[in-house]
Structure 1
Amino acid sequence: MAVQSNPDQLVGILRDTVVALVRRDGPDLSARQLGVFLTVYLTDGPHTVRGLAAELNVSKPAITRALDRLGELDLARRKVDPMDRRSVIVQRTLKGTAFLRDMRQIMSEAETHLRDMPATTEPAANAETGRETRRAG
């Protein structure tokens, strides 16, 4: 039986994941680059610049800049579509697949850490003050 996560836990997992990605040796992606990367790796393709721009509701130049960075890091590559030479297809790479695997592991560890935390020490954001409060168990 799967344990349901509440929004605070999900944000905690996201925070721990981003912090772990920033601290480790390897690519440090912006939110846009990470959004493009995850869309390419977690949704069925083929993916094009135009399609990614539409799906993420951002401009084509923004997608192009994100893909430039992903290409520099060998996390994705662009290839001319052999069926329509005017279109460019975004392809996954071995390095990108490894990055996604590492990210899944980091997220899994963050989830385990939060799940194993005693309820009395789980931080919760106080909406009025912005300070963390401790929940009573």
Structure 2
Amino acid sequence: MSVQTNADQLIGILRDTTVSLVRRDGPDLSARQLGVFLTVYLNAGPHTVRGLAQDLNVSKPAITRALDRLGELELARRKVDPMDRRSVLVQRTLKGAVFLRELRQTMSEADGIIAAPALQEEFA
């Protein structure tokens, strides 16, 4: 399998996953919100607004807006750091963990949908 074919497969998985997220009941996340969410859930913490802004190379206000939305959806929450009251910690939630599990399932299903036609083309 060529690098281009693999990249095309990944783009197809991303497209199918995004479409599934948009079609499902409930709100969908913007690219920035999803980036913040995945960084919080896939990278070891603790996470701060300042640290997320630095990691993602975006402004602190952009992170704050993304976290506002994630907080509304109960996918993440902010808490003042008791050790340094100037710092805000970003915490995972149970609802966020469930969303991540559903996202993984959706991506796995999209991967299955993509893989079947690729196999057919390979053996045609």
Question: TM-score when scaled to structure 1?
Answer: 0.83
Q: Which amino acid aligns with 1:52?
A: L
**Aligned partners of 2:97 and 2:55: how far apart in 1?**
21
Q: For residues 30-74 of structure 1, what are the alpha-carbon distances to aligned partners after superposition, in whole Å with 9 as ceiling and x for unaligned? A: 000000000000000000000000000000000000000000000
Q: Which amino acid aligns with 1:86?
A: R
Q: For residues 59-107 of structure 1, what are the alpha-carbon distances to aligned partners after superposition, in whole Å with 9 as ceiling and x for unaligned? A: 0000000000000000000001111111000000011000000000000
**Aligned partners of 2:81 and 2:27: how far apart in 1?**
27
What is aligned with 2:17? 17
What is aligned with 1:69? 69
**Aligned partners of 1:51 and 1:60: how far apart in 2?**
9
Q: For residues 111-135 of structure 1, what are the alpha-carbon distances to aligned partners after superposition, in whole Å with 9 as ceiling and x for unaligned? A: 0111111227xxxxxxxxxxxxxxx
**Aligned partners of 2:11 and 2:36: how far apart in 1?**
20
| 1:27 to partner: Cα distance | 2.4
Runs of 4+ in 1 over 4 A off after TM superposition: none
Greater relative CO, 1 or 2 (CA 8 Å, sep 6+): 2
**Which protein has the larger Cα radius of gyration, Structure 1 or Structure 2?**
1
**Aligned partners of 1:21 and 1:28: how far apart in 2?**
6
Work out whether 1:119 is the aligned partner of 2:121. yes
Structure 1 counterpart SS, 2:97:
helix
Higher helix share: 2
Structure 2 counterpart SS, 1:20:
helix
Q: Which amino acid aligns with 2:38?
A: L
**Aligned partners of 2:121 and 2:84: how far apart in 1?**
56
Structure 2 counterpart SS, 1:6:
helix
Q: Which runs of 5 or more residues in structure 2 are unaligned?
A: none
Q: Which runs of 5 or more residues in structure 1 are unaligned?
A: 121-136
**Aligned partners of 1:16 and 1:27: how far apart in 2?**
17
What is aligned with 1:30? 30
Aligned residues: 119
